[in-house]
Amino acid sequence: MFNYDLIVVGSGHAGCEAVLSAAKLGLKCLLMTLNLEHIALMPCNPAVGGPAKSCLVREIDALGGVMGIVTDATYIQMKILNSSKGPAVRALRAQSDKKEYMTFMRNLIECNCNISLKQAMATELIVEDNVVKGVKDEFGLEYHAPTVILTTGTSLEGKCYIGLQSVSAGRMGERAATGLSASLLKNGLELKRLKTGTPARVDSRTIDYSKMTIQPGDEELHFFSFEPNRPVRKQYPCYLTRTTEKTHEIIKANLDKSPMYSGMIHGVGPRYCPSIEDKVIRFAHNPSHHIFIEPEGKDTYEIYVQGFSTSLPADVQIQMLHSLPGLENVHIIKPAYAVEYDAVPALQLEHSLMTKKIKGLFCAGQINGTSGYEEAAAQGLVAGINAYNYLNNKDMLILSRSNSYIGTLIDDLVTKDIQEPYRMLTSRSEYRLLLRQDNADERLTPIGHKIGLISEERYQRFLNKQDAISAEIERMKTTKVSPTQNVNDVLAKYNENIEKGMKLAELIKRPNIDYNVLKKIDEETKNLNLSPEIYEEAEIKIKYDGYIKRQNQQVETLDRLERIKIPADIDYNTIGHISTETKEKLAKVRPATLAQASRIGGVKPADISVLMVMLSR
C-alpha cells in the first residue's frame, strides 16, 4: 500500500506548481506522470508571459510559486510589450530555453524530499461516499491519499490529427491517458471535448533571415520574479515574416483535407489562438498575417513558427511553409498537428478548484478548459495550496476579481458556461488598472506570507520596498522645482514648460513627463539613485491616482455584494418573480455570493434585486 497526503496526476505547468506548493507547505506528495522526461514540457511555444499572462506569472511569484523564478533562470530573450501604452496593458514576455526550463523545474521537484515521482498512467479514481481516497494506475497498483489534483492537460482520451490521419496521443510522440475519463463519468462528473493545436518546428539552418524583420530583446532587462539577483543572460533574437497570397491560396485549396473543416474534430478550439486556416477563412479581408520565428533554445537548431498552427496534411504544410518569405527552402523537423481531448467543465468546481461532487478532488489547468502555460500554473498553485488547506481544516484560498488576475481567471471558469479553451486577456478584468504586473507583490505577497510560501526574509524585503515607494511618493509631493532657464530648456524638449514653482508630483502627472525627466531637472531626484521598481511604482501611483481611486470605489461597491452569501442548499425553484431559465442557470452554477450570481450569463439586474430581497428576509 502506497500512502500520501496528496497525489498530483500530470506534470505540466499546473502539476509542477501544485506539487511544489503543497510539498513546501509540508504535504507528502506523489507526482504521477506519463513520462518523467516531459516534466514542465513546453509543447507549444517556448515562451512565458505576454498581455495579461505576465500578470499571472507575477502573481504566481508574489504568492510563492515558481514559474517566474524558472523563467528568469532560463530566458533567452526578455521583452516588454506595449511599452508605449499605459501600465495596465504593459506586459513582459520571455522566450525560454525549452530544455533548460524543464531541467530547472525538475531539479526543484527532485530536491524536495516531500515529493516522490512515479511514471505511470492513472486510470481510475478511488472514491468512497463521494470522497476521494486515491487513484489506481494501469498496472492495478493503488495509491492512497485524501486529496488528488488532476492536471492532465490534453492527455485525457487525447487524439492528434495531421490531415485526415489521427493517432491516439495527448501530444505527438506521447501516449494518451485512457481510463480516467470513464472513471470521472462513473463518479458523476460531466466531460466535454476541446481542441487545440501547435505549429511545425523547422531547422534554423534552412531559414533565410535576410528576408525577415529582426525582433531583438530589450537592452534594459525586466524580470518576472520579485526575488533579487536575477541572472543577466545572452539574448537571442526572434524574427518576423508574413503569410502571402500564395499561402492563402494553398490553404483554401486544401480545406477539404482539414480534420476541422471535414468534421472529424468535434471539439471546440481556442478563439484567441486560431489555426492559420481559421485566420485565412475568418479574416478573409486581411491579405496577410504576422508569423514569428522563435528559437526553442540556445543550443538547438529547432525553431518554433509562431502563428502558423494547423492540422492540414504534412505535404500541404510543406507547401504552406515554403510560401513564406525566408522559408522557401525550410526543412520541417516536426509537423504541426491538432489535438482533441476531454475536459471537465469548470462549473462543477468551487472557487477553491475542488469538485463539488467529490470532496478532496481538485482539477487544475487545461482539464478545466483553459489554454496557456500561465493559466495552468496559476490554477495549479491555487489547487496545491487548497489541498493543504482542506487537509488542515483551514479556510480555502479564494482570490477575488479585485485583487488578482488569478481570481478573475478562476471566477470566470467556475461562473460562466465557457464553451471554448479560455485564455486570459486584459479585457477580462474590470479592474485592470489596479491589477498591473508591477504591483502584483503589493497585492498578493502578504497573502503568500500568511499561507507560508513566502519566507520571512523575502517578506521583510517586500516591506522595505513598500516603505521606499511610500517615502518617494511623499518626497515628490513636497519637493518643488523652480522655473529656471535650465529647467525650462529641458522641459521644452518634451513640449512642456512651467511658469511658477511646481511640486514634482504635479509635474509628473503631465503626459509627456516621466521620472527620468525629473532626474534631469532635480538634483535630489537624480542623486537618490532609486531602483526602477521603486520609482516606476511611485510614478504610476501618482500619475494615475484619480483613475485608481475611481476603480477602488467600484471595488467597494462589488465587495458589498460579495459579502451577501447565498446558502449552498437554496432551492431556486421556490423563488418567485424570476424566470425558469434564470432559475436553471442559478441551480447549475450555485453561486456562493450575490456578486457571483450577478456575473452569470443571462442573469439580469432585476433577478439580483429579487434575490437580494429574498436573502434579506
Helix axes 440-451, 53-63, angle to 10 degrees: 40
pLDDT of residue 267: 66
- CATH number of 443's domain: 3.50.50.60
Tell me, yes or no, whether 346 and 437 share the same domain: yes
Per the domain annotation, does 59 fall within a domain? yes
Whether 436 and 468 map to the same domain: the answer is no
Tell how strand 302-306 and strand 201-203 pair up. Answer: antiparallel
Q: Which of 52-61, 276-285, 486-495 has the lowest mean pLDDT?
A: 276-285
Would you say the pTM of this structure is higher than 0.75?
Answer: yes
| Cβ atoms within 10 Å, residue 492 | 10
Instruction: With cut-offs at 50, 70 and 90, classify the pLDDT of residue 6.
Output: very high
The pLDDT of residue 323 is above 90: yes
CB 572 within 8 A of CB 597: no
In a shared domain, residues 155 and 48: yes
pLDDT above 80: residue 432:
yes
Which grid coordinates are listed for 484? 529656471
Q: What is the mean pLDDT of the chain?
A: 93
Count of residues making up the chain: 617
E-strand stretches of 457-551: 480-481, 502-503
In a domain, 354, yes or no: yes
pLDDT of residue 97: 97
pLDDT of residue 576: 81
Strand order in the sheet with 361-363: 115-119, 29-33, 6-9, 147-150, 361-363
Q: State pLDDT tens for residues 126-166.
A: 999 999 999 999 999 999 999 999 999 999 999 999 998 99
> 496557456: which residue's cell?
372
> Is there a contact between 397 and 352 (Cβ–Cβ < 8 Å)?
yes
Q: What is the pLDDT of residues 98-108, one digit of tens each?
A: 999 999 999 99
Residue 421 and residue 502 in one domain = no
Residues 8 and 77 in one domain: yes
User: What is the pLDDT, as a whole number, of residue 568?
Assistant: 84
CATH number at residue 571: 1.10.150.570
Beta bridge partners of 165: 162
Residue 150 sits in the same domain as residue 85: yes
Segment 269-285 shows an average pLDDT of 81
Give the pLDDT of residue 597: 86
Q: Output the pLDDT for position 308.
A: 94
Q: Is residue 438 part of a domain?
A: yes
From 548, 579, 601, the end of a domain falls on: 548
pLDDT at 511 over 80: yes
556 is a domain residue:
no
Domain shared by 477 and 445, yes or no: no
- Residue 481 and residue 498: Cα distance in Å, rounded? 9
CATH of the domain at 514: 1.10.10.1800
In which band, very low, low, confident or very high, does the pLDDT at 270 lie, cut at 50, 70 and 90?
Answer: low
The answer to whether residue 227 sits within a structural domain is no
By the 8 A CB rule, do 342 and 196 touch?
A: no
> Would 161 be classed as within a structural domain?
yes
Beta bridge partners of 80: 92
Question: Does residue 430 form part of some domain?
Answer: yes
Instruction: List Cα–Cα distances, 20 to 15, 318, 380, 420, 449, in angstroms.
Output: 8, 41, 9, 29, 16
Among the listed ranges 71-80, 162-171, 404-413, which one has the minimum average pLDDT value? 162-171
118 shares its domain with 184: yes
> Distance (Å, rounded) from C-alpha 341 to C-alpha 338?
10
User: For residue 265, what is the domain's CATH number?
Assistant: 2.40.30.260
pLDDT at 560 over 90: no
Residue in the structure block whose three cell numbers are 510589450: 81
Q: Which three cell numbers stand for residue 370?
A: 483553459
Domain boundaries, position 579: 563-616
SS3 label, residue 29: strand
User: Are 186 and 211 contained in the same domain?
Assistant: no
Give the three-class secondary structure for 133.
strand
Please give the C-alpha separations between residue 235 and each of 76, 218, 253, in angstroms, as whole numbers. Answer: 5, 9, 40
Q: Is the dihedral of CA 508, 509, 514, 515 positive or negative?
A: positive
Residue range 175-200, pLDDT digits in tens: 999 999 999 999 999 999 999 989 99
Q: Please count the CA atoms within 13 angstroms of the CA of 104 that sit on its side-chain side.
A: 17
Residue of higher predicted confidence among 341 and 270:
341
Domain ends where: 548, 579, 597?
A: 548
| Same domain, residue pair 483 and 432 | no
Nearest to 297 by CA among 378, 233, 241: 233
Has residue 222 been placed in a domain? no
Instruction: Domain count for the chain, please give it.
Output: 4
Domain boundary (306, 339, 372) is at 339
Could you tell me if 540 and 570 lie in one domain?
no
Q: Are residues 39 and 162 in the same domain?
A: yes
Contact 176, 159 (CB under 8 A): yes
Q: What is the pLDDT of residues 456-497, one digit of tens each?
A: 999 999 999 999 999 999 999 999 999 999 999 999 999 999
526 by DSSP, 3-state: which? helix
